[in-house]
Amino acid sequence: MLILGSLVALILARVAAQLWLNALNVNEASRWASEAPSWLAGAIEEDRRRKSVDYTLARAKVSAFDIVYDAAILSVVVFSGLLPRLYSAITGTLGTSVWVSAAYVVVVGIVLSIPGLPLDAWVQFRLEERFGFNRTTVRLWIVDRIKGLVLGIVIGYPLLCVVLGLIQWTGRMWWLWGFVVMVAFQLVMLVLFPKVILPMFNKLEPLPDGSLKQRLIALAGRCGFQVSAIQVMDGSKRSTHSNAFFTGLGRFRRIVLFDTLIASMTEEQIEAVLAHEIGHSKKGHVIKGLILSILVTLVGFGVLGLLVERPWLYDAFGFAPGQVAPLLVLIGLTSGLATFWLTPLGNAISRKHEYEADAYARQAVGTPTPLVEALTRLAESNLSNLTPHPWYSGFYYSHPTWVERRAALLREGAVSRA
Ligand SMILES: [Zn+2]
């Protein structure tokens, strides 16, 4: 009873925090609905700015609904006894081998992905459509979901078989083996993602020869940055949101530019965006990110190792002793209730890295101007919220706001020129 009570409290605490942050953000955006704050006046096109307020408010409504909807579904799944009942039904007919247990986890995963689909579709085809972002057709949207599902099964099922097998085969220290397997898996995915998975969803083509390519290669050379390829991705097939990123590691890494980015920016601006991406690598963010993710995986498996051995936990949720698979599903579903509170910590680290990459780009290009212009373009075209509530952005934002980044870029520019 105590455990179930604590779980209810954790669910309610998270919903309350999420709704409250959302409400703070709505108030802050509404304040500037009709008139730009003084620090924005003239810097952003006024009709884009107003539209960004509308977009922020429309998204906030969806998010409020989503928060409550998610919590409701989580509660139903956790408290209804659905998990142990489904487990008994499946193992009753197929037996209790590792293969069957892993299949059970996959089936639960598929079933639990269904309730979110209508909302996803509504966001894509109503909300994003209304603000002119959507380029996805219904057909493409469905094909994407099916591909994601097949990929999830093809990758997830064998991985689950291994982890569940380790629990049976390696005894009490299974979690350490599980950790090793998972880290190896992450490293393989780093290499496979850009080569195999990304091309399943998007067309990637080498950046054509020309002045832009020369400029970008010259920049990489100046920065002493080795890259195996600069590619253009057809992001425009789904959305007009634009972006740039790089994937892979070491000599496998490649820069990916959205076609929407290339279409909307000057060569100087794209160069500045790439310099920012190179900055992430040069400042060691990629390696730090990898180490952090390995540590998080270790802690995660350590906690799993402890929890799997607690008989009272099985009792509390109606699982028979030794029904590890449903317990793992339950822990997977509820772990977010604890890790949610660490969100601001992870984002604070990420924002620090963004400032460092911006500073690197400013130095590599020799002036802050093109990056400031590029960020302004991105903010305008993506209708970014320019005035988030500081608590909201402090909690959820992985990047500093446009105002913060511009201020830092211009400040550092002034310091180094002095
Ligand atoms: Zn960045």
Q: Which of 358, 373, 380, 412 is catalytic?
A: 358
**Cβ pair 164, 325 in contact under 8 A:** yes
pTM of the model: 0.90
**What distance in angstroms lies between residue 349's CA and the mean position of ligand 1's atoms?**
12
**What distance in angstroms lies between residue 354's CA and the mean position of ligand 1's atoms?**
5
Pairing mode, strands 254-258 and 229-233 = parallel
Q: Where are the domains of the chain?
A: 1-418
**CA-CA distance, 395 to 24, in Å (whole number)?**
12
Neighbours of 104 (CB within 10 A): 25
Q: Any catalytic annotation for residue 47?
A: no
**What distance in angstroms lies between residue 242's CA and the mean position of ligand 1's atoms?**
14
**What distance in angstroms lies between residue 250's CA and the mean position of ligand 1's atoms?**
18
Q: How far is CA 209 from CA 191, 206, 226, 275, in A?
A: 26, 9, 18, 19
Residue 92 burial (CB < 10 Å; 0-12/13-18/19+)? exposed
Residue 394 burial (CB < 10 Å; 0-12/13-18/19+)? middle
Query: What pLDDT is attached to residue 417?
Result: 43
Q: Which of 277, 309, 354, 380 is catalytic?
A: 277
Query: What pLDDT is attached to residue 40?
Result: 82
Query: What pLDDT is attached to residue 412?
Result: 61
Three-state DSSP at 83 gives helix
Q: Which of 330, 417, 403, 414 is nearest to 372 (CA)?
A: 403
Q: Which of 169, 174, 165 is nearest to 98 (CA)?
A: 165
Measured at the CA of 51, the angle between CA 374 and CA 256, to 5 degrees, comes to 35
Q: Is 233 left (phi over 0), alpha (psi -120 to 50) or beta?
A: beta
**What distance in angstroms lies between residue 276's CA and the mean position of ligand 1's atoms?**
6
Helix (H) or strand (E) holding 104: helix 98-113
- Tens digits of pLDDT across the chain (418 residues): 788 899 999 999 999 999 999 999 999 999 988 888 888 877 888 889 999 999 999 999 999 999 999 999 999 999 998 999 999 999 989 988 999 999 999 999 999 999 999 999 999 999 999 999 999 999 999 999 999 999 999 999 999 999 999 998 898 899 999 999 999 999 999 888 888 898 999 999 999 999 999 999 999 999 998 877 889 999 888 888 777 787 776 667 788 899 988 999 999 999 999 999 999 989 999 899 999 999 999 999 999 999 998 999 998 888 888 888 999 999 999 999 999 999 999 999 999 999 999 999 999 999 999 999 999 999 998 999 999 999 999 999 999 999 999 999 998 655 544 3
Q: How far is CA 104 from CA 83, 87, 321, 329, in A?
A: 9, 7, 17, 9
